[in-house]
A and B are shown apart, each in its own frame.
Chain A
Amino acid sequence: MKSGNRLKQLSLSKGLLYFVALYYCLLVVNAYIFCKPCNFFELLFSSEVLKPLRLSLISSSIASLLSISIAIPCAYSLSRNRSKFSIFIDTIIDIPIFLSPVALGSLLLIFFSGSSGLLLKKVGIDVAFSFLGVIVAQFSIVTSIAIRLLKSAFDSVDPFYEKMARILGCTRSQAFFKVTLPMVQNGLISSIVIVWARCIGEFGATIMLAGAMPGLTETIPISIFLSFASADVDRALIFTGVLLMVSVASLLTIKYFSRRSYFL
C-alpha cells in the first residue's frame, strides 16, 4: 500500500516535470509554427537584425569583461573575509539581484542625468542615452550576479590549499593565480557565460538609462520590444530566435564545464 502511494507520488512529480518542460517548448513551437515568420533566414542576415545583434554582442562582451574583472577580486575578498562588516557589504552587493532592472535603471538615469552626469559630461563622458549607457546598465545589472556566482566558486575551494601553496614558496598573489584561480576555472567559465548571456538579454535598466535609439542603443531585447510596439511580429520573432540560440549555446557551455572537472 505504502509503495503504491510512493509510486503515485513519483508519477505525479514526473508528470509535473514533463508538463513544465512541455509548457516551455510549446511557447517556442507555438510562436514559430503558428505565426510562421516569413523570410526568416533572409531577415536574420539583414542589416536591421545584424545592427542590434552587433551592438548587443559588443556591449555585452565589454560589460561582461568589466564585471568579471571586478567581480573576481571582490568575490575572493568576500569569500575569504567573514567579518560582520563583510556580511553587511555582501548584503549591499546582493541588492541589484533582487531589485527590478527597471528600478535600477531609473536610479542609474537619475544618477547620470544629475550633477554626476553633468560632471562626467564636462570631461567628455556621456552616459545617459548613449552606447556607453548600454554598457553601464548591463554592467550594473550583472556585476552583483558575477560576484555572487564567483563567491560560490571561491567558497568551494578550501583556503588551506592557499596555505599549502604559501608554505611551498608562493607569495599571496602567486597562491591565488597558481592555485586558487585554476581550481575555480570551471566556475569562472560558467560565470562568464551566465554573465554574458544575462547582458545580452538585459532590457529594463538599458532602456531606462540608454533609451531605444536605433543603431545607437538598440540592443536585441529593445528591438523585440520596438518590433512588437510597431506590430512587426516577424521581426520580433527573429530577434527572439537569436536570443533563444544564445541561451541554448550558453546553457550547453555551462553544462559542459560544470560536468567537466580536473579528474576527467
Chain B
Amino acid sequence: MIKLQDISLKLGNFKVNNFFMNVRPGEYYILLGPSGAGKSVILQTIAGFYKISSGKILLRGIDVTELSPEERAIGFIPQNSFLFPNLTVRENILFAANIHKIPFEKVKEFFEYLINILEIEYLLNNRVVHLSGGEKQKVAIARAMLLKPDIVLLDEPLSSLDMPLRKKIVSTLLQLHRETNITFLHVTHDQEEAFILGDVISLIFNGQIEQTSKKNALYFFPRTLNVALFTGMGNIFNGKVVSVDHENHQVTISYKNYCFVATLHEHRPSPSPSTAVFFGIRAEEVMILRDGEPLKPLLEPNILKGKVKSITEKTATHTIFFIDDREEIELEIELSNLVYRRLELFTGKSIQVSLKKSSIWISPEDFNKEYIVK
C-alpha cells in the first residue's frame, strides 16, 4: 500500500539515505523511534511535504513521487491537530468535502459514524480554540478520515495528551482501524502506544530502520543494540564468546570474571568463539532466588551472589538495583509489588539472583563492535 524504494533526502543537517519501507494494505504500521530519528520527516515525505532527491514513493502501487500533497489522496493527523481556528468544528471536519465540492448528503453517513465513534457531536458548532487538546485531536482524526482515504498518516497524534485521554483515543483508533480497514501509518516515540496499536513495528534510528517485526519479536528478539536499548533492555553488557555448543543450542560468554550460559535461538546468526558480543537481560526477567529453596536445573548456570544496592518504588512495581559481591556487575531487577513484599527486600540485604539462560539476549547484528555499554 505504501512503498518507499531507496529514497534519499536532505533537510538542513538531517539526512535520510537509501530508505526502504513497505506497508501492506489494511495494516496498522508503527514507525517507532527516539526524537530526531527522522520519523516525522519520513511521514511528511510520504504526504508530499518534502521532495526526495532520489528513489520512489509508491502509494497503492502508483508512483506518486512527483505528485503534490493534494493529489496523493491520503489522510494526515498531525501532532498538534492544526485545526483551522477561523472555522467551527463542523466546518473543520467537512473542509475536505467542501474543497472537493462533495455534497453533505454523500458524506453524511460516514460523518455521523465518525462523530459518534469519536464522541464529538456536542462540539460541532464550537470554535476550535475553545476545545481541549483531546477534543482537538478527535476533530483532527475526523477531519482526516471524512473522505475515507485508504491511507491515513498519524504524526505522533497522542504525544501532547495526558494518559487517560491517550488510552481513550488509542482504543478509538483501534476501533476505527478495525471497522474501516484503512491502512494506518503511525509515527510515535512511545513504546506502549506502539505495542498496543501496531500490527507491525519498525524501529528507526538516524533516518534508518534497524528492525521491522511483529511487536513481540521486537520486544523479545531485538536485532541490534539500539533496538534493545530503546525497547527497555535494562541490563546490557559487552562480553566475549568462550564457546559455542551447537548440539545443545547454547553459548558461553565471559564477562569480567564471570561466565554466562545463554540459549542460542534458531534462525538467528550465532557468534563464533572469541567474538565480542553484546548480551543482556530484561529487568523483569532477572530472578531473585529465595533462601534455602532448591534450584531448578534451568536456573543453575548463571547465579550471582550479592546484595541490594538500592530500591526505587514505582506505582505498580519496585526496581531493585543489585550489585554482586565482587562489585563487577550491577543489575536492574523489576518486581511486582506483590513479589517485592513477599521477598522482604531492603537495602543491603544479601541475595542471590539467577539469569535464566533462555532469557539472555545476544545481539545478533552487533558482533565485534567495541562500543562499551557498561
Contact residues of A with B, CB < 8 Å?
A: 158, 160-161, 163-172, 174, 178-179, 182-183, 185, 261-263
Tell whether A168 pairs with B78 under 8 Å between CB atoms, given A262-B86, A263-B127: no
A167-B76, A262-B86 are known; give 4 further A-B pairs, CB within 8 A.
Answer: A161-B84, A165-B84, A165-B99, A261-B129
Between-chain CB contacts (< 8 Å), 16 pairs: A163-B69, A165-B84, A166-B70, A167-B48, A168-B70, A168-B95, A169-B96, A169-B100, A171-B68, A171-B70, A172-B68, A178-B99, A182-B84, A261-B129, A262-B85, A263-B85
Instruction: Verify B48–A185 contact, CB threshold 8 A.
Output: no
Q: In chain B between 75 and 97, which residues have their CB closer than 8 angstroms to a CB of chain A?
A: 75-76, 78, 82, 84-86, 95-96
3 tightest A-B CB contacts, nearest first? A263-B129, A166-B69, A169-B99
Residue of B nearest to A159 (CB): B49
Choose among A169, A171, A261 the residue with the greatest number of B CB atoms under 10 Å from its CB. A169
Tell whether A179 pairs with B84 under 8 Å between CB atoms, given A168-B95, A170-B99: yes
Instruction: Verify B127–A169 contact, CB threshold 8 A.
Output: no
Residue of B nearest to A182 (CB): B86
Tell whether A167 pairs with B86 under 8 Å between CB atoms, given A174-B99, A262-B127, A263-B129: no
Cα separation A221 to B198 with both chains bound (whole Å): 71
Cα separation A133 to B47 with both chains bound (whole Å): 50
Cα separation A168 to B85 with both chains bound (whole Å): 16
Q: In chain B between 84 and 143, which residues have their CB closer than 8 angstroms to a CB of chain A?
A: 84-86, 95-96, 99-100, 127, 129-130, 143
Nearest Cβ on chain A to B288's Cβ, whole angstroms: 51
Contact residues of B with A, CB < 8 Å?
A: 44, 47-49, 68-70, 72, 74-76, 78, 82, 84-86, 95-96, 99-100, 127, 129-130, 143-144, 147
Instruction: Verify A166–B48 contact, CB threshold 8 A.
Output: yes
Cα separation A262 to B99 with both chains bound (whole Å): 21
Nearest Cβ on chain A to B155's Cβ, whole angstroms: 10
| Chain A residues whose CB sits within 8 angstroms of the CB of B78 once the complex forms | 160, 164
| Chain A residues whose CB sits within 8 angstroms of the CB of B69 once the complex forms | 163, 166-167
Instruction: Verify A168–B127 contact, CB threshold 8 A.
Output: no
Residue of A nearest to B80 (CB): A160
Choose among B68, B75, B96, B99 the residue with the greatest number of A CB atoms under 10 Å from its CB. B99
Nearest Cβ on chain A to B1's Cβ, whole angstroms: 17
Cα separation A200 to B99 with both chains bound (whole Å): 40
Residue of B nearest to A158 (CB): B82
Residue of B nearest to A164 (CB): B82
| Chain B residues whose CB sits within 8 angstroms of the CB of A158 once the complex forms | 82
Nearest Cβ on chain A to B39's Cβ, whole angstroms: 16
| Chain A residues whose CB sits within 8 angstroms of the CB of B47 once the complex forms | 163, 167
Tell whether A163 pairs with B130 under 8 Å between CB atoms, given A170-B99, A183-B84, A183-B86: no
Nearest Cβ on chain A to B170's Cβ, whole angstroms: 23
Tell whether A170 pairs with B70 under 8 Å between CB atoms, given A178-B99, A262-B127: yes
Nearest Cβ on chain A to B263's Cβ, whole angstroms: 48
Cα separation A160 to B47 with both chains bound (whole Å): 12
Cα separation A183 to B96 with both chains bound (whole Å): 18
Instruction: Verify B130–A263 contact, CB threshold 8 A.
Output: yes
Nearest Cβ on chain B to A82's Cβ, whole angstroms: 12
Instruction: Verify A167–B129 contact, CB threshold 8 A.
Output: no
| Chain A residues whose CB sits within 8 angstroms of the CB of B95 once the complex forms | 165, 168
Cα separation A166 to B49 with both chains bound (whole Å): 9
Nearest Cβ on chain B to A50's Cβ, whole angstroms: 40
Residue of B nearest to A264 (CB): B127
Residue of B74, B85, B127, B130 touching A167 (CB-CB under 8 A): B74
Tell whether A262 pairs with B129 under 8 Å between CB atoms, given A167-B69, A167-B76, A169-B96: yes
Cα separation A133 to B68 with both chains bound (whole Å): 45
Residue of A nearest to B47 (CB): A167
Cα separation A163 to B206 with both chains bound (whole Å): 25
Residue of A nearest to B130 (CB): A263
| Chain B residues whose CB sits within 8 angstroms of the CB of A168 once the complex forms | 70, 95-96, 99, 143-144
